Structure 1
Amino acid sequence: MEYVASIAYAKGKDQEEQFYFPQRNGKDANYLCGNSLGLQPKNVKSAIEQELSDWQQYAVAGYWEAKDPWLYYQQYCNKPLTGIIGAHQHELTVNLHQMMFSFYRPNKQRFKVLMEAGAFPGDPYAVETQVQYHGFDPANAIIEVSPRPGEYLIRLEDILAIISQESDSLALVLLGGINYYTRQLFDIAAITDAAHRAGAYAGFDLAHVVGNIPTSLHDWGVDFAVWCSYKYLNGGPGAVGGAFVHEKHASNRDFIRLGGWWGNEESARFKMEKGFVPEKEAEGWQQSTAQVLNMVNLKASLELFEAAGIGALRSKSSGMTNYLAFLLQQLKGINFQIITPENCNERGAQLSLFFPDGGKEIHQRMTDAGIIVDWREPGVIRVSPVPICNSYQDVFHFYEIIANIASNA
């Protein structure tokens, strides 16, 4: 595609805005930080007001009589998510520790977990404590695959080589679908296949994938995946998380899991009897009733995703991110490197710009100019034009501001 570095070109690529932007100096900020927290959809307020009205009118009867009965609230989010992640509705449910309880069952021979070096800290913390819980030393049980010296990205062949080498001792492969720092998108299908051939389970943290990249978790045979919904899914701060469990496990009632009242078979749930009989689907991992006043934000946002279609959003995402890369190539007088893969099929809606020096000062100057992006040590500014929220004009205005910073450096 041929790009043009002009506001007229950017305006011609844009559509009507359906989200609220934070204000800076009396006007919309140039918000390119949906990778950290998605914007508020304009339909959220009325959705929340509906639930508040139903709570006021029905109280506990809202579980059955609300406009959207609360008893089935998680299912309202499951349906649109199936198209986004490539799953069956009964494969969706939450929580990395719960998933590891089910899928990390080490023994003396097979006890190791493969992760990527530099993963977002939440995952290493979870794995470290799970390994310790089972009586193993994290130094011996956790394998990290790293970029080669002088490189920022992890090569697929290095991941596959470690899986093959450790096939006798590997219990679990647990990677982020996209690395939070470099924004590298891993080949989930190839890694899953290699893990299974080695006799290990394959799980993924899709916090930076869901709502960003269409996936086919069921067809790829992924055993489990977890994600948050406050980033690309625009579920709001502290929004409910989600999890996928492949039906080959979810339909097996003997597959080990932590039981909870809401995970018990629905037909027997209100009998209040002893003996946990899980639902024959991912809902068998649920612990309690849906957080309605939390999930209503996600439900409202997913209506927009369903209307737009994840395929169309991915197409716009690739176009905007490629346009951003094109514009950044026009810059002179500022020293940085794009460490995100150049191939748009190997990245999502974000570029990570590495500044060998002066990065924090440049980030502050961006902030002062009305740009909202985020900084990650030791030198990266993450710029994320999210397709459902952002526009080509947002991308061009970012370029204009950083070009001005470069010219005054």
Structure 2
Amino acid sequence: MEYENSAAFAQRLDEQDTLSNFRNEFLIPQHQRKDIIYLCGNSLGLQPKAAQQEIATQLGAWQNLAVEGWFQGDAPWHEYHKQLLPPLANIVGALPHEVTVMNSLTINLHLLMVSFYQPKGKRYKILMEGGAFPSDQYAVESQVKFHGFDPKDAVIEVFPREGESTLQTADILSAIEEHSDELALVLFSGINYYTGQFFGLKAIAGAAHEAGAYVGFDLAHAAGNVPLALHDWQADFACWCSYKYMNSGPGGISGIFVHEKHHQNKELNRFAGWWGYRNDTRFKMIPGFDPEPGAEGWQVSTSPILLMAAHNAALQLFEQAGSIPALRRKSELLTGYLEYLIEQINQQQGEQLFKIITPKNKQERGCQLSVICKHNGKAMFDHLVSKGVIGDWREPDVIRLSPVPLYNTFTDVYEAAHYMAEAATQISKA
């Protein structure tokens, strides 16, 4: 598309947008009696209006049915999570029995590593991206220490080349091949939280398996954002949060994927709990863990219904929008427009005040652009906030901006860039 740097052009794109009505399904905070320009879905998605009603419905069931709500009412809690699985499977490219919802992201990462990090002999190392989100680093460090290894030896990190901000797929695959006889697990995020790079997960999964290792993905910044095909890619496991691009509330419930090829593997360790026990005999309370078939067999604790209610409301919007394919088309246009406008600012200023470190190739990124500010970055970020533009700041010099297709408009993007240009003129060299 040939973009134009004008409010009229942005408005025309909004008028042509077949998904524009979904913005009305969200509650948008106000700034000086106007909707804020919210470009922070990479940290916390906006609240769907339907979340309040769905949570209220479940509070009503609690009020009117009390404990009988587990087995009575329009949506008995004992089976409530099952309605979430088909839309969730559509989002991550899985079969419904390969996914479930439970716990929070890092808890699930630990539980899945119990099963899929099984060091034996010289195969005890984990390969991951350098600069992964700290929670993943801490989880991996503690897992290898739990097994008696030194993280400095057992954890292999792959970093970008000198002078580059993002990883090259070839370097990831080369590192896997180089350490192929030592690897127990390859663990990558789907999208790097800092740079916004969408990794070549299919290629990584293939290389990991060729090396004889398991492969797992942390999809915190990818689920609900970019096309995923976990089943077809033969990923062994994955986990994600729901509060970013899936708009399911702060600290919202997490989800997991376990490929069906592992569902009957009794050699896999797992930390068991009663909610993962076979559904048809769970209430007999007999000794000896017999897991529910599928990913649900990795569940541990009783379902948190109110968290699931918020998640359910958000997932229904994905279904109504046509799930990821329709959203992806708009996302590429929105992010591309933001990129174009930032480049326009640099041209107008005669220097690269804003350096985008997120890959230019749209196949290697999602909604997010990570922008290095050459001068006075924090002051420029604060200027955006003062104008009602909400992104987020990452030390030492990066602003992350994420136009989300479910609720952001092309006018949002145009106005955000207008305030960036204003900051460039007023603040950048002050």
TM-score range, shorter chain: over 0.9
What's the CA shift for 1:381?
0.2
Q: Which residue of 2 aligns with 1:37?
A: 44
- Could you tell which deviates more after superposition, 6-15 or 166-175? 6-15
Once residues 52 and 12 of structure 2 are traced to their aligned partners in structure 1, the CA distance between those partners, rounded to angstroms, is 30
Separation in 2 of the partners of 1:220 and 1:109?
Answer: 26
Matched, 1:64 2:82: no
Q: Aligned AA for 1:6? A: S
Match of 1:229 among 227, 242, 256: 242
Which residue among 243, 260, 271 is the counterpart of 1:247? 260
1:167 matched to 2:180: yes
Q: Secondary structure at the match of 1:270?
A: helix
Question: Could you tell me which amino acid in structure 2 is paired with residue 72 of structure 1?
Answer: E
CA–CA distance in structure 1, aligned partners of residues 330 and 171 of structure 2: 31
| Alignment counterpart, residue 219 of structure 1, candidates 226, 232, 237 | 232
Post-superposition Cα deviations, 1:365-392, rounded to whole Å, max 9, x if no partner, equal 1111111110111211000001112111
Pick from 306, 312, 328 the counterpart of residue 326 of structure 2: 312
How many correspondences in the alignment? 409
Whole-Å separation in 2 of the counterparts to 1:377 and 1:250: 42
Per the normalisation by structure 2, the TM-score is 0.93
Distance 2:422 2:285 in 1: 66
Instruction: Return 391-400 or 219-228, whichever deviates more.
Output: 391-400
Identify which of 179, 182, 185 aligns with 2:195.
182
Q: Tell me the residue number matched to 1:84.
A: 91
The offset of 1:252, in angstroms, is 2.8
TM-score when normalising by structure 1 = 0.98
**1:208 corresponding residue in structure 2:** 221
Aligned to 1:296: 309
1:151 is the counterpart of 2:164: yes
Give the corresponding residue for 2:390.
372
Q: 3-state SS of the aligned residue for 2:325?
A: helix
Contact between 2:381 and 2:399, CA under 8 Å: does it hold in 1?
yes
**Preserved CA contact (<8 Å) 2:221 2:244:** yes
Q: Tell me, yes or no, if structure 1 residue 46 matches structure 2 residue 53.
A: yes
**2:410 maps to 1:396:** no
Q: Is the Cα contact below 8 Å between 2:196 and 2:365 reproduced in 1?
A: yes
Note if 1:330 corresponds to 2:337: no
Distance 1:255 1:141 in 2: 21
Contact kept? 2:342, 2:354, Cα under 8 Å: no
Contact 2:116 2:268 in 1 (8 A): no
Structure 1 residue identity aligned to 2:95: H
For 1:95-134, what aligned pairs fall within 5 Å after superposition? 95-134=108-147
SS at match of 1:12: helix
**Contact persistence 2:132–2:193 (CA under 8 A):** yes
- Which sections of structure 2, spanning at least 5 residues, go unmatched? 15-19, 103-107
Residue identity in the other structure for 2:9 = Y
| Contact kept? 1:96, 1:126, Cα under 8 Å | yes
CA shift digits 1:328-386 (9 cap, x unpaired): 11103371200000011110001000123311111111111111110111211000001
| Identical amino acids, percent of aligned pairs | 52
Moved more, 51-60 or 143-152: 51-60
Alpha-carbon deviation of 1:407?
Answer: 2.5
Match of 1:139 in 2: 152
What SS is found at the alignment partner of 1:314? helix
